[in-house]
């Protein structure tokens, strides 16, 4: 069984295996946006399905003057725990020996492309569902719940969220995960990042003070999907970041815009960032008793993955409609 870049290929030949991994990365990479700004904490294999993040609670300022000759009461370090649990996800697609014999490369190309896209979309949606479930929320207009949302977001919503992140000592994001197969980072221009659906783009572009990415005075976009900025917030939009369908007033879709600071959330794969395994089983004559004529094969993918919010104070969500 050959292995390459952490992905397993079953009994596929080395030549097609190399082609398959290149094809998977080509199609998966553009879909993965959220994971690039996460903390990555892999769980070692054969250890556990749960990872506990621990952080010390910051000391409060000590404003009481010391008394001469008197030792003050010591302060103790306290910790907060955040738990992430990984689960297994996967899918498979069959093909027959007839297709293999006549369209081997094209069939494998299509199936590995679809597998890569599905695995990437699964990761993105798992992360999005966790981020948009945070406890800090702002409802647009005069709404006081998701069910009463009727208005699009505006500058007041963004100003409030930005001020709350700063009051909570949320640090601007200054790095993202590299696109390489290793867990490494690359620098980006400091900013709070806002994630949402591409459907929000027309509304964001009409905001007073919105600056399109092409007119940045310095620096470059933090993502290929960045459309521009407003004050200290940069907007990254993709069609993968779906709304709450029919959840607003009169059955309107409610679109969350999630704004985060540094160290806001984490992803937890089983064995590092490239935790997706893709396997190909070619139809093989007399391969096993379930398929003695070698008529059936398949392409499959599988991964262990988990995601959690690390600090609620550094994640805010604005819920609005498009009109």
Question: What is the residue extent of each domain of the chain?
Answer: 3-53+83-128+267-308, 138-264+313-320
**Does residue 42 register a pLDDT over 70?**
no
Q: In this structure, what token pair is assigned to residue 185?
A: 């980072």
CA nearest neighbour of 301 among 9, 31, 17: 9
Three-class SS state of 70: coil
- Residue 179: per-residue pLDDT: 61
Q: In this structure, what token pair is assigned to residue 301?
A: 């993918």
Residue range 49-65: mean pLDDT, rounded: 73
**Does residue 233 register a pLDDT over 90?**
yes
Taking the C-alpha atoms of residue 80 and residue 181, their distance in angstroms, rounded to an integer, is 32
CA nearest neighbour of 72 among 81, 85, 82, 63: 63
More confident residue, 274 or 217: 217
- Residue 248: per-residue pLDDT: 94
Residue 285: how many CB atoms within 10 A of its CB?
10
Three-class SS state of 309: strand
R_g over Cα of the chain? 24
Residue range 39-51: mean pLDDT, rounded: 67
Burial of 303 (0-12, 13-18, 19+ CB in 10 A): buried
Residue 189 has φ and ψ, to the nearest 5°, of -65, 135
Burial 18-48 (b: 16+ CB within 10 A, else e): ebbbebbbebbeebbbbbbbbeebbbeeeee
Residue listed under structure tokens 């009461």: 73
**Does residue 105 register a pLDDT over 60?**
no
- Residue 55: per-residue pLDDT: 67
CA nearest neighbour of 243 among 189, 200, 295, 307: 200
- Residue 258: per-residue pLDDT: 98
Residue range 225-242: mean pLDDT, rounded: 94
Would you give the distance in Å from CA 110 to the centre of its chain? 25
Residue range 203-220: mean pLDDT, rounded: 88
**Comparing 23-32, 123-132, 246-255, 281-290, which segment has the lowest mean pLDDT?**
23-32
Measured torsion, CA atoms of residues 104, 110, 111, 113, in degrees rounded to the nearest 10: 130
- Residue 176: per-residue pLDDT: 72
Which class in CATH covers the domain with range 3-53+83-128+267-308?
alpha beta
The beta strands (E) that lie in 58-154 are given as: 79-85, 87-96, 137-139
- Residue 96: per-residue pLDDT: 72
- Residue 273: per-residue pLDDT: 45
Measured torsion, CA atoms of residues 104, 108, 111, 112, in degrees rounded to the nearest 10: 180
Residue range 202-217: mean pLDDT, rounded: 91
- The reported pTM is 0.79
Taking the C-alpha atoms of residue 96 and residue 62, their distance in angstroms, rounded to an integer, is 72
Decide: 266 and 306 in contact? Cβ < 8 Å: no
Q: What is the mean pLDDT of the chain?
A: 80
> Percentage of the chain surpassing pLDDT 90?
38
**Does residue 164 register a pLDDT over 70?**
yes
- Residue 71: per-residue pLDDT: 84
**Comparing 66-75, 108-117, 178-187, 226-235, which segment has the lowest mean pLDDT?**
178-187
Q: How confident is the model at residue 137 (pLDDT cuts 50, 70, 90)?
A: very high
Q: In this structure, what token pair is assigned to residue 297?
A: 């094969």
- Residue 309: per-residue pLDDT: 92
- Residue 170: per-residue pLDDT: 93
**Does residue 199 register a pLDDT over 50?**
yes
Q: How confident is the model at residue 175 (pLDDT cuts 50, 70, 90)?
A: confident
């Amino acid at each position: 069984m050959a292995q390459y870049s952490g992905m397993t290929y079953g009994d596929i030949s080395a030549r097609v295996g190399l082609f398959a991994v290149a094809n998977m990365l080509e199609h998966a990479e553009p879909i993965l946006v959220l994971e690039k700004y996460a903390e990555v904490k892999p769980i070692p294999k054969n250890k556990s399905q749960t990872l506990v993040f621990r952080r010390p609670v910051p000391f409060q300022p000590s404003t009481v003057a010391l008394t001469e000759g008197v030792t003050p009461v010591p302060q103790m370090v306290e910790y907060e725990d955040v738990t992430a649990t990984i689960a297994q996800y996967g899918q498979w697609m069959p093909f027959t020996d007839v297709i293999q014999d006549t369209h081997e490369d094209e069939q494998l190309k299509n199936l590995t492309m679809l597998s890569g896209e599905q695995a990437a979309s699964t990761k993105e949606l798992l992360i999005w569902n966790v981020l948009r479930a945070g406890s800090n929320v702002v409802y647009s207009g005069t709404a006081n719940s998701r069910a009463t949302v009727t208005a699009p977001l505006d500058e007041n919503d963004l100003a409030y969220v930005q001020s709350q992140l700063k009051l909570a000592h949320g640090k601007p994001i200054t790095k993202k995960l590299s696109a390489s197969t290793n867990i490494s980072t690359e620098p980006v221009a400091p900013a709070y990042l806002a994630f949402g659906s591409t459907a929000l783009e027309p509304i964001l572009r009409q905001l007073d003070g919105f600056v399109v990415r092409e007119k940045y005075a310095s620096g470059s976009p933090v993502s290929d999907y960045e459309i521009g900025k407003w004050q200290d917030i940069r907007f990254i939009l993709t069609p993968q970041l779906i709304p709450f369908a029919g959840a607003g007033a009169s059955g309107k879709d409610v679109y969350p815009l999630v704004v985060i600071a540094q160290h806001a959330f984490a992803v937890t794969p089983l064995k590092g960032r490239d935790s997706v395994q893709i396997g190909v089983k070619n139809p093989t004559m007399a391969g096993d008793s379930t398929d003695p004529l070698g008529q059936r094969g398949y392409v499959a993918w599988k991964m262990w993955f988990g995601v959690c919010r690390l600090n609620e104070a550094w994640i805010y969500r604005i819920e609005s409609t498009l009109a």
